[in-house]
Structure 1
Amino acid sequence: MSPAEGRRLSAATLRQMTEADLPAVLAIERSTFPLDAWSEGMLRGELADQPRTRHYVVAVAGDEIVGYAGLAAAADQADVQTIAVLAGHQRSGIGSAMLTELLAEAARRGVTAVFLEVRADNPPAQAMYERFGFERIGLRRDYYDDGTDAIMMMRSLNGQGDDRNG
């Protein structure tokens, strides 16, 4: 198990995501991404590849799952698949902690470049990724189901567990 197991945050603890977490994760997915939420089958498929090519964590506050995040890694590249935090827990450091964990996992796997797409209409998420050293590398027009563009971003890892958070 990765260092995410039992890591305490100011408001939550990170641990590896399991199938038992799917009902809570699906509720967060639907409330956070109402127009293009992943289906239960898609999330089950992601978990089926854990730990081979996937790494998913949940953030737990008290007895409630308040966020989740996932990474897909193959060879020397990885993609941040998703990061979501319940609205009432946003801006509390949970998203940053989960991204830190995903980047640490990428480094453990020998990844040298991490990619992601972020909604062009989500400046807070863009700012968080930029604080973590992600740079804009392109634009995918009409990427999301509602026609919103995606900003493509990339961060190089230096191979030394680089997990700075700002």
Structure 2
Amino acid sequence: MIRPARPADESRLRAIQSAALSDPWPELLNVAIDGPPHVFVCDEGEGPIGYALTVPDRPVAYVAELAVAPGMQGQGYGSELLDALLGELRERGFETVRLTARTDDARVRSFYDGFGFRAADELPDHYDDGGDGVLLVRDL
């Protein structure tokens, strides 16, 4: 089930964030749970197992983080979450979705390619460790 995040989800979301992301943004998660930004979670009945954090700037939504708990990855939860998120953004009148990914992360790039994202710009030294990024864009 995909639903908006609630304050009670915060500790679980922090655990997912620190375990699943190489470049988490804890400060953004601090404010996002009460929105905006907006956080949607994938909850299979025992609390969140994944989340997507979006920053709205109509008509564009920026997906700042999308993460699934490491033990739950590869089971379709990320796809379910992104599919629901894209539908929700479309219904809310957004026209474009943007996000960044590491240039050298083939698995992540393949995931987003499968949802119709395309590379729009290169982002040299985008990450704190000096890693390069790529801006991915998808029209809704």
Q: TM-score, normalised by structure 1?
A: 0.77
Is the CA contact (8 Å cut-off) linking 2:2 and 2:40 kept in structure 1? Answer: yes
RMSD: 1.6
- 2:118 corresponding residue in structure 1: 135
Unaligned runs of 5+ in 1: 1-12, 158-166
Report the structure number with the largest CA radius of gyration: 1
Q: What do residues 98-156 of structure 1 show as CA deviations (whole Å, max 9, x unaligned)?
A: 11122112111211111110122321111111111100011111111121111111011
Is the CA contact (8 Å cut-off) linking 1:143 and 1:150 kept in structure 2? Answer: yes
SS at match of 2:33: helix
Is the CA contact (8 Å cut-off) linking 1:80 and 1:102 kept in structure 2? Answer: no
- 2:13 corresponding residue in structure 1: 25
Q: How does 1:99-138 map to 2 (within 5 A)?
A: 99-138=82-121
- 1:44 corresponding residue in structure 2: 30
Runs of 4+ with >4 A deviation: none
Following superposition, the deviation at residue 62 of structure 1 comes to: 4.3
SS at match of 1:148: coil
In structure 2, distance between residues paired with 1:29 and 1:14:
17
Is the CA contact (8 Å cut-off) linking 2:9 and 2:47 kept in structure 1? Answer: no
Q: What letter is aligned with 1:28?
A: I
* % identical aligned pairs: 32
SS at match of 1:48: coil
Following superposition, the deviation at residue 64 of structure 1 comes to: 4.1
- 2:127 corresponding residue in structure 1: 144
Alignment length (residue pairs): 140
Q: What letter is aligned with 1:45?
A: V
